Amino acid sequence: MPLSDDPLHLMMTRKSTSLLEEPVPSPEQLKRIIHVACTAPDHGCLEPYRFVVVQGEARLRLADAFAATLKREQPDAPDAKIEKARSKALVAPMQIFIICSPKAGKIPLWEQQATAACAGFGLTIGAHGLGFGAIWKSFGLGIGPELDGFLALSEGESVLGWVNVGTPKRFDDSPRRDVDVDAKLTVVTV
């Protein structure tokens, strides 16, 4: 990743990277990535999020939980679909689950979920900043007792998704897609 004097360069060059391999962030690097995630905008300073990191042999248990969830929700699912669900846990060497942990009080749930989602984006920026690849993923099924137990979810917590993290198998220096900023921006002056 080329360094730049432009402070926004890091964010503007981030891309989702799905082809990932070892090595993963060291424990110290992982803490730095989590620290970046914890800079998310947070009305009320509630920190309504936490992260569960899955790597190594634990990915096999996660694969079993994904397969069990699919079998419970779709008892007649073909074996190929079950294997596809299992593979979601094994395609990257590290997964960081984004758990929304809302707090009681005056800050509405949607705002706390937005904060947790911003923290998820922070994971991708932090990983990119350290030279790792990352991509936000979701399961497409409910979070039932299988994943509930695996992730040790407390009452009221929800999974927003997870970020696959690792070393990109190939460096992608192609430019990001152009963004039509004018189509996304309205400025009101009077």
Q: Is 14 annotated as a binding residue?
A: yes
Rg over alpha carbons for the chain, rounded to the nearest Å, is 18
d(C-alpha 130, C-alpha 153), whole Å: 29
CA trace torsion 43, 46, 47, 49 (10° rounding): -100
d(CA 40, CA 124): 12
Name the 3-class secondary structure at 53.
strand
Q: Do 136 and 16 form a contact (C-beta atoms < 8 A)?
A: yes
Q: Exposed (0-12), middle (13-18) or buried (19+): which is 10, by Cβ within 10 Å? A: middle
Q: Is 137 annotated as a binding residue?
A: yes
Instruction: Answer yes or no: is 162 a known binding residue.
Output: no
Task: Check the annotation: does 26 bind a ligand.
Answer: no
User: Is residue 30 a contact partner of residue 75, using CB atoms and an 8 Å limit?
Assistant: no
Binding site feature residues for FMN? 14-16, 43, 136-138
Binding site feature residues? 14-16, 43, 136-138
